[in-house]
C-alpha cells in the first residue's frame, strides 16, 4: 500500500502518465476492497448446515440425524445438483402412520435480531391423501431454546422446485438453530408419500449492516463507489461470495 501511494504521488502531476495514474488509483481501491473482504471472511458469522447437498455419506460428523420409524435415506436416483439427494418414501401396509425425520443442529453462527432465509429444493413423486411434509425451526442459545417456528407444511411439484422461506427473524438471544423436516402419513391403510429433497441452506437475508460498516471504516471505498469505480452491487456480492466460500470450505 505504501508503494502504491508513492507511485501515485510521483506521477499525479505528469500529464503523460494520466492513464497509468488512473490504473494505479483503481488498483489502490481494489487493494482496499480485497483487504476488507479478507477481514470479513474471518469476522462474519453465518450458520452453516453441514452436507446440505447430501454429497457426503451419513456419519457422526456430517451434521444430519435421521429419525422416526421410517427415516429418509441418501439416494443417487435423483439430485438437484451433484449426484445425491435425500429420499423419503412412505407406504402404509396397515392403518398405521409412517413417519421420517431429518434433523440438524447448528450451535453457532446466528446473530440475534438478524433475518435469515431458509431454502431447499424438492421433487415430489407421490403425495397421498393422508401425507404431510413439514419443516420446523428452533432458535437456540447456550441455555436452550429461545424461540421457534412450529411445524409448517410445504409443497412443490413433480419437477425440482425451490422452496424459499425468507426473512426469518432470529430472537435477540439466539446463537444457533435447529432445523427439522418431517414426512408423515396418516393412520390410513395404503397411505403414502414420496419426495426427494436437496441443497438445503440457511443464509442471512442481506448484508446491509456489513456494507454500511465497510463504507464507514473505509472512506476510499465509499468514494470509489460514489465515483462509479466500484458498484454497490459488486461490494454486496463480494460479501455474500465470501460467505458462500466459507460454506464450501
> Has residue 145 got a pLDDT over 80?
yes
Report the pLDDT value the prediction gives residue 210, as an integer from 0 to 100.
81
Model confidence at 7: pLDDT above 50: no
Closest CA to 115 of 208, 203, 205: 205
pLDDT at position 203 over 80: yes
Q: Starting from the edge strand earliest in sequence, which strands make up the sheet with 144-153, in order?
A: 64-67, 99-106, 176-184, 132-141, 144-153
Which whole number is the average pLDDT over 55-84? 93
Strand partners, 169: 115
Neighbours of 43 (CB within 10 A): 10
pLDDT of residue 130: 94
> Do 210 and 131 contact (CB within 8 A), yes or no?
no
Which domains are delineated in the chain? 2-44+207-248 (no CATH), 64-204 (2.60.120.260)
The stretch 117-129 carries a mean pLDDT of 97
The terminus-to-terminus CA distance of the chain in angstroms comes to 29
**90 closest CA partner among 76, 73, 70, 67:** 70
C-alpha angle 6-10-15 in degrees, rounded to nearest 5? 140
Choose from 19-28, 57-66, 148-157 the range with maximum mean pLDDT: 148-157
Strand boundaries in 185-237, DSSP class E: 192-204
Return the pLDDT at 41: 42
Q: Is the pLDDT of residue 120 over 70?
A: yes
- CA dist., res. 143 & res. 83, Å (int): 38
Q: What is the pLDDT of residue 46?
A: 58
DSSP code, position 160: -
Average pLDDT, the chain: 85
In terms of pLDDT, which residue wins out, 8 or 128? 128
**DSSP designation for 70:** S
DSSP string for 98-115: -EEEEEEEE-S---TT-E
| pLDDT the model gives residue 233 | 84
Residue 245 φ/ψ, nearest 5 degrees? -65, -40
Tell me the pLDDT tens digit for each residue of 80-109: 999 999 999 999 999 999 999 999 999 999
Residue pLDDT, tens place only, 36-57: 544 444 334 456 899 999 999 9
Would you state the pLDDT for residue 12? 53
Alpha-carbon span 55 to 52, nearest angstrom:
8
Amino acid at each position: 500500500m505504501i508503494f502504491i501511494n508513492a507511485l501515485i504521488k510521483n506521477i499525479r502531476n505528469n500529464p503523460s502518465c494520466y492513464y497509468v495514474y488512473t490504473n494505479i488509483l483503481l488498483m489502490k481501491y481494489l487493494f482496499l476492497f480485497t483487504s476488507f473482504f479478507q477481514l470479513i471472511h474471518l469476522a462474519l458469522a453465518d450458520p452453516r448446515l453441514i452436507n446440505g447437498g447430501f454429497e457426503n455419506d451419513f456419519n457422526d460428523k456430517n451434521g444430519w440425524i435421521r429419525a422416526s420409524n421410517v427415516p429418509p435415506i441418501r439416494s443417487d436416483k435423483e439430485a438437484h445438483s451433484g449426484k445425491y439427494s435425500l429420499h423419503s418414501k412412505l407406504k402404509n401396509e396397515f392403518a398405521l402412520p409412517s413417519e421420517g425425520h431429518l434433523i440438524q443442529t447448528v450451535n453457532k453462527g446466528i446473530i440475534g435480531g438478524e433475518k435469515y432465509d431458509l431454502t431447499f429444493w424438492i421433487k415430489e413423486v407421490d403425495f397421498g391423501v393422508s401425507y404431510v411434509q413439514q419443516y420446523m425451526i428452533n432458535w437456540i442459545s447456550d441455555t436452550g431454546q429461545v424461540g421457534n417456528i412450529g411445524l409448517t407444511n410445504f409443497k412443490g411439484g413433480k419437477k425440482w422446485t425451490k422452496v424459499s422461506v425468507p426473512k426469518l427473524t432470529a430472537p435477540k438471544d439466539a446463537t444457533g438453530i435447529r432445523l427439522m423436516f418431517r414426512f408423515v402419513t396418516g393412520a390410513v391403510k395404503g397411505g403414502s408419500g414420496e419426495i426427494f429433497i436437496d441443497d438445503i441452506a440457511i443464509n442471512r437475508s442481506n448484508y446491509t449492516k456489513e456494507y454500511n460498516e465497510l463504507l464507514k471504516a473505509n472512506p476510499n471505498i465509499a468514494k470509489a463507489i460514489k465515483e462509479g469505480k466500484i458498484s454497490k452491487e459488486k461490494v454486496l456480492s463480494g460479501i455474500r461470495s465470501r460467505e458462500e466460500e466459507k460454506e464450501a470450505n
